[in-house]
Structure 1
C-alpha cells in the first residue's frame, strides 16, 4: 500500500515511526516549512522533518499541499495518513488517495475538535482523554470515527506527559 504521511510536531513522530516499521510503502512525508521559533527567532525544523531525514524518507514542505498537487497525483497514493499536520486539506487532496485520508486526533471526538485538544482537556479538568482515528472529510475533525482509545488524565499530568501518552496510543491505532 502506497502511503503519504503528513505531520509536523513531535506528537506525529511515533505514528510516522510506526508506519516505517510496517509493511506499507511510505512514498512521501509532508511537514510544515521551516519557521522561526523561540526567543531568538531561529529557523526551526519540525520534528517530523528531522525523523524523515534521519530515515532517508522523501520529504516535502510546500506552503500549501495544493501547491504540490501534481506531484501528489504522480505518487498515486492509496492512503493519506495525517497527524497534527497543521493545515486543512482541500476536497481535491481528500479525494486523491484511492482509500481516502485518515487522521489521528488527540481527543475523543467530538470533544475538543480543532487545535490544542490536549491543553483544552487539561484546562477543562477532563478526567479522560484519548485519541480518535477518523476518516477525513471537509469539516474540521468531523469525519467518521474508525477507532477511539481512552486514557485517564491524572492530577499530575501536564500537556507534555499526556501528549506523549496520546502520541504513543495514536501510533498503536
Structure 2
C-alpha cells in the first residue's frame, strides 16, 4: 500500500532522499523547503535543490519561514498525510505539526545517534576523525534529534574520506534505509528504541 507523504528538506542530501521517494510506490503530496535565498555573484534568489526537484516533478511546494503560525499548521494538517519525512529541513517542527500525520514524522539523520545530533553531523564526523558514521531513521519529537531510533546502518570512514564523499554515501544509504523503514511502518513492523543516554554529542552548524 502506498503511503501519502509530506516531504520536508532543503539541500542536496535531502534531494537524494526525495528522488528515492518519487521513484517509489509512495505518493509525495507536498514538499516543504526553505525559502529561496540570494546566491551567486548576482545575489539572485535561488530555490533549494529540493524545491527545484519537486517543482520539476509537478509536486506542490511550500516555503514558510516558520511553522509556528496556526494558519500554517492548519494547512499542513489539511494535507492528511500518512507520514511526514524530514531530511535536513532546517526548521523546528512544533507539536501540532509533529502530531498531524497519521503515522507521525520520521527523520533521516546522517549520523549514528546519539552521536552528532544537530545540523552538521557529516562535517563534524570528518573534523573529529571519526572512523565510522551512518544513518539513523528516527521518530520525531520536540527535542533536537532526541526521538526513538527506528532503523540504523553504518559506514566506515577511511583516512582519506572527504566530507563530500561521506555526504554522498550517507545520502544514498539514507534513501535505501528510509524506503525500508516505510515498508515496515506500513505493516507495523518498526520497533522504536530509545536513544542511549551515553555518548551524546552535538554537531553545531558550520557557517
Deviation of the 1:23 alpha carbon: 1.7
- Higher alpha-carbon deviation: 30-39 or 8-17: 30-39
- Higher alpha-carbon deviation: 34-43 or 52-61: 34-43
Of the candidates 114, 123, 126, which is equivalent to residue 110 of structure 1? 114
Gaps of 5+ in 2: 178-207
Of the candidates 121, 127, 137, which is equivalent to residue 125 of structure 2? 121
- Aligned twin of 1:167: 171
- Aligned twin of 1:22: 24
Give matches, 1:1-173, under 5 Å: 1-38=3-40, 40-67=42-69, 68-173=72-177
How many residue pairs get aligned? The number is 173
Q: Which runs of 4+ in 1 moved over 4 A?
A: none
Gaps of 5+ in 1: none
What is the TM-score normalised by the length of structure 1? Answer: 0.96
Q: Distance in 2 between matches of 1:155 and 1:82?
A: 30
Q: Let me know the Cα RMSD of the aligned residues.
A: 1.2
- Higher alpha-carbon deviation: 18-27 or 161-170: 18-27
What is the TM-score normalised by the length of structure 2? Answer: 0.80
Deviation of the 1:19 alpha carbon: 0.9
Q: Deviations over 1:151-172 (max 9, x none)?
A: 1111221111100110000000
* Partner SS state of residue 135, structure 2: strand
